[in-house]
Amino acid sequence: MFTIDDLADRLGGYLPPDEIQQVKRAFYYAEQAHDGQRRRSGEPYVTHPLAVANILANMHMDHQSLMAAMLHDVIEDTGVSKKALGAQFGEPVAELVDGVSKLTQITFEDKAVAQAENFQKMVLAMSRDIRVIIVKLADRLHNMRTLGALRPDKKRRIARETLEIYARIAGRLGINTIRVELEDLSFQAIHPMRSERIKRAVSNARGHRRSAMREVQATLQKSVDDEALSGTVVGRQKHLLSIYRKMRDQRKPFAEIMDVFGFRIITEDVASCYRILGVVHNLYKPVPGRFKDYIAIPKANGYQSLHTTLFGARGMPIEVQIRTREMEAMANNGIAAHWLYKAGQTSHPIAEGSHARARAWVKGLLEMQRHAGDSLEFIEHVKNDLFPDDIYVFTPKGDIMELPQGATVIDFAYSVHTDIGNNCIACRIDRHLAPLSSRLESGQTLEIITAPGARPNVAWLNFVTTAKARSAIRHALKHQQHTEAVILGRRLLNKALAPFNTSLEELDPAVLNRAFEPLDASSEEELLESLGLGTRVAHVVAQRLMDVADGHPGERASEEAGQKSVVISGSEGMVTNFARCCHPLPGDAVVGHLSVGKGLVVHRAECKNLVDRDDPDKVFALEWSAHIDEDFPVALRIEIESRRGLVAELAGLVTDADANIERIGIEERDARLATVNLTLSVKGRVHLARIMKRIRNLPNVGKITRMAN
């Protein structure tokens, strides 16, 4: 059985004798105060505070924290007051004990309210002394270790509270050793059978993989040693809840999760971390996109390390973390490392930074507490704040998807599957239609609506947050632009070849191949793409092809052939744009302006904004296809008598004419007249004329003008 003398021996490694004596005095005081009290397990109650103090000693906490651990249940469970504790052990220790103590003098009807009120009290105490939460975490950890004596329903309730609040706080403060154990103990209490099965499977898997692990570890260690770098390679084990979550969320079998070998390399300084990274990347090929530099950009809780994933022997994935000894201490102890270094009478910037971040976080909690309506609302805010990097949403089948904070519907669609994202046209959030740019919140259920012909929109890049969505959208847009540029380039080149009585399809392939070098192109596709994007001039390329042909039998065609127009349908996509200044419609006389990087911009022939009008290489005639099934925007200016219900009247008229209103604005000219600026989507000039005729039939319409610029 662990005794106070055993603890005193351990404390001798980092505390002076007078402080150890004060800790012992606190123990004897607690032993007397709890005399006759026993835990559910039957042990004397004082074994609990002693065990809590031992957990804090592992983290090298200061003597006042250890004294508070000894005394943390005295106010709550005995007749001793805070004032009496202050007189005996000093005000700081009494404040720590009071901060950890529950509100025993108030009776709550609801356990959830009691939990929220007690947590709120603890946060206020944390704002005065951050050590309150470290003592509380140690207290909760020992309680979780000794849950066995409680009823199953009480076990589950305490475990859920631990998982939702205390494990998250430990993670937020970077105290990884406590977080991992709290999570595994909670998992064991909530799902005992699943926990036991995974534990047995892990034990068996480690036995089977032991020789392979040793081999990889020895290879990594030898590579580091060969470069004369100081680094120790150790194996890294996944904890039970982490394995379970990956199996559930990623829908992977146990064997696939355990197939990954995990190692940690501990070195002396930051420079060595990056040198060792180079060594391991030289030894094994790194997996693209799986490198994270948390040294340059630490996590919110101060965690620092280099993370990389490698293709090991026979394609086995190897996860490697590289960090300094100080970073290792921070990763395990988080904010508690502040006292670890303080105990050694030295300060360390990592530990100091972690302490400052923790205080800033508590300050934020206090602000939330001030703005919260009640303690239950406050604790909900805290739960969300404790997982700042992740949200959890559901598919219609109930599967859980994990996304970063601020993720949108589009991010969700791409996280399900790239094709779902690319073909996404609408969505339902909790069964209600919502914009694709909607920011998601934990607990929502999403249904993505797709269409086979749909394509990503370039505007999506303005609001997506995940790297997967961003890269997939860019890839799809690039492919889409490339395909459309090649099609447009082919049409432009055929138009330029028409005066020579030939076309690209009729040209000898050998002529085309010989032309690539003088045209500085590597393939026909590259040449056509550059024409479609406007970086080459079709007339110059056609002339060069004829020159290379060297005696090509075709001669210049008639002037009529040279004036052949390029046909457009409005569905060409990204490389054919319709000018917003003049809103061209099918039926209008139109010309095309070839703009570098944008492709073809379509203007009405009379548009005043058209530049390079006299340059035949940049501006040329276009004609509309006979088969068009697209909507085109058009702007109207209507002078009409102002009256109640005017907007509704216009909207009804436009809808009845099978058109859509994109934008509407009203300017009051005087008390009687108004000017309505209306942007519609129509099929063409004939459709527009029909709508304008209907508007003219309205009472008191003065003038309707189609805006040219």
Q: What is the DSSP string of 454-477?
A: ----GGGGGT---HHHHHHHHHHH
Phi, psi angles (nearest 5°) of residue 419:
-65, -35
Which tens digits make up the pLDDT trace of 457-479?
878 888 888 767 877 887 787 77
Average pLDDT of the chain to the nearest whole number: 80
- Whether residue 321 is predicted with pLDDT greater than 90 in this model: the reply is yes
Please give the residue range of the domain that contains residue 645: 632-706
We report the CATH number of the domain holding residue 43 as 1.10.3210.10
375 occurs within a structural domain: no
State how far the Cα of 311 lies from the Cα of 216, in Å rounded to an integer.
Answer: 12
| Among 418, 437, 465, residue at a domain's last position | 465
State how far the Cα of 239 lies from the Cα of 234, in Å rounded to an integer.
Answer: 16
Q: What percent of the chain has pLDDT over 90?
A: 17
CA distances from 129 to 49, 80, 124, 125, 253 (A): 20, 22, 9, 6, 45
- CB-CB neighbours of 230 under 10 Å: 12
The answer to whether residues 596 and 660 belong to one domain is no
The answer to whether residues 415 and 500 belong to one domain is no
Interior angle at CA 536, CA 535 and CA 537, nearest 5: 130
Of 510 and 105, more confident: 510
Residues 6+ apart with CB under 8 A from 529: 482, 485, 486, 489
Helix (H) or strand (E) holding 543: helix 538-549
We report the CATH number of the domain holding residue 294 as 3.30.460.10
Is 76 catalytic? The answer is yes
The answer to whether residues 678 and 614 belong to one domain is no
Is the CB of residue 409 less than 8 Å from the CB of residue 388?
A: no
Extended beta strands in 180-332, E state: 231-235, 261-267, 285-286, 292-293, 306-311, 317-324
Choice among 115-124, 449-458, 462-471, 567-576 with the minimum mean pLDDT: 567-576
Residues 6+ apart with CB under 8 A from 231: 221, 224, 265, 266, 267, 272, 276, 322
- Whether residue 422 is predicted with pLDDT greater than 80 in this model: the reply is yes
Output DSSP code: residue 445. B
CA distances from 141 to 144, 159, 180 (A): 5, 11, 10
Residues 6+ apart with CB under 8 A from 296: none
184 occurs within a structural domain: no
Report, as an integer, the average pLDDT of 683-702.
88
We report the CATH number of the domain holding residue 421 as 3.10.20.30
The answer to whether residues 206 and 225 belong to one domain is yes
642 occurs within a structural domain: yes
CA distances from 637 to 601, 657, 688, 692 (A): 24, 18, 13, 11
664 occurs within a structural domain: yes
The answer to whether residues 126 and 245 belong to one domain is no
Confidence band (pLDDT; 50, 70, 90) for 235?
Answer: confident
Q: What is the DSSP string of 40-102?
A: TTSSBTTHHHHHHHHHHHHTT--HHHHHHHHHTTHHHHSS--HHHHHHHH-HHHHHHHHHHS-
Of 233 and 484, more confident: 233
Interior angle at CA 168, CA 177 and CA 62, nearest 5: 50
- CB-CB neighbours of 553 under 10 Å: 8
Confidence band (pLDDT; 50, 70, 90) for 371?
Answer: low
Report, as an integer, the average pLDDT of 383-387.
56
Of 384 and 630, more confident: 630
Nearest to 104 by CA among 137, 83, 88, 81: 81
164 occurs within a structural domain: no
Nearest to 544 by CA among 577, 520, 570: 520
The answer to whether residues 459 and 501 belong to one domain is no
342 occurs within a structural domain: no
Looking at this protein, which amino acid is placed at residue 10? R
- CB-CB neighbours of 310 under 10 Å: 22
- Whether residue 107 is predicted with pLDDT greater than 50 in this model: the reply is no
Query: Which of the residue ranges 176-180, 319-323, 398-402, 509-513 has the most confident prediction, judged by mean pLDDT?
Result: 319-323
Is the CB of residue 260 less than 8 Å from the CB of residue 318?
A: yes
615 occurs within a structural domain: yes
Q: Which is the catalytic residue, given 31, 77, 377, 639?
A: 77
Is the CB of residue 632 less than 8 Å from the CB of residue 681?
A: yes
Is the CB of residue 265 less than 8 Å from the CB of residue 322?
A: yes
- CB-CB neighbours of 684 under 10 Å: 18
**Given this model, what pLDDT does residue 556 score?**
43
Cα 671 versus chain centre, distance: 53
Is the CB of residue 17 less than 8 Å from the CB of residue 26?
A: no
392: left (phi > 0), else alpha (psi -120 to 50), else beta?
beta
Name the H helices within 394-441: 409-416, 418-422
**Given this model, what pLDDT does residue 382 score?**
64
SS3 322: strand
We report the CATH number of the domain holding residue 653 as 3.30.70.260
**Given this model, what pLDDT does residue 629 score?**
78
- CB-CB neighbours of 460 under 10 Å: 25
The answer to whether residues 592 and 659 belong to one domain is no
Choice among 68-77, 98-107, 499-508, 645-654 with the minimum mean pLDDT: 98-107
Split into its structural domains, the chain has a count of 5
The answer to whether residues 702 and 668 belong to one domain is yes
* Helical pair 131-145 and 91-100, crossing angle rounded to 10 deg: 50
Is the CB of residue 584 less than 8 Å from the CB of residue 633?
A: no
Confidence band (pLDDT; 50, 70, 90) for 521?
Answer: confident
Looking at the DSSP assignment, which residues form a beta bridge with residue 263?
A: 235, 320
| Among 111, 145, 179, residue at a domain's last position | 145
SS3 664: strand
Of 627 and 408, more confident: 408
The answer to whether residues 200 and 273 belong to one domain is yes
The answer to whether residues 478 and 459 belong to one domain is no
Nearest to 594 by CA among 612, 569, 567: 612
Residue 119 structure tokens: 């947590």
**Given this model, what pLDDT does residue 461 score?**
84
- Whether residue 590 is predicted with pLDDT greater than 80 in this model: the reply is yes
- CB-CB neighbours of 1 under 10 Å: 7
State how far the Cα of 665 lies from the Cα of 282, in Å rounded to an integer.
Answer: 64
The answer to whether residues 203 and 330 belong to one domain is yes
State how far the Cα of 492 lies from the Cα of 497, in Å rounded to an integer.
Answer: 9
- Whether residue 350 is predicted with pLDDT greater than 60 in this model: the reply is no
Report, as an integer, the average pLDDT of 290-303.
79
The answer to whether residues 551 and 595 belong to one domain is yes
319 occurs within a structural domain: yes
Confidence band (pLDDT; 50, 70, 90) for 331?
Answer: confident
Which tens digits make up the pLDDT trace of 494-512?
877 777 777 777 777 777 7
| Among 624, 656, 684, residue at a domain's last position | 624
Q: Which is the catalytic residue, given 19, 31, 76, 525?
A: 76
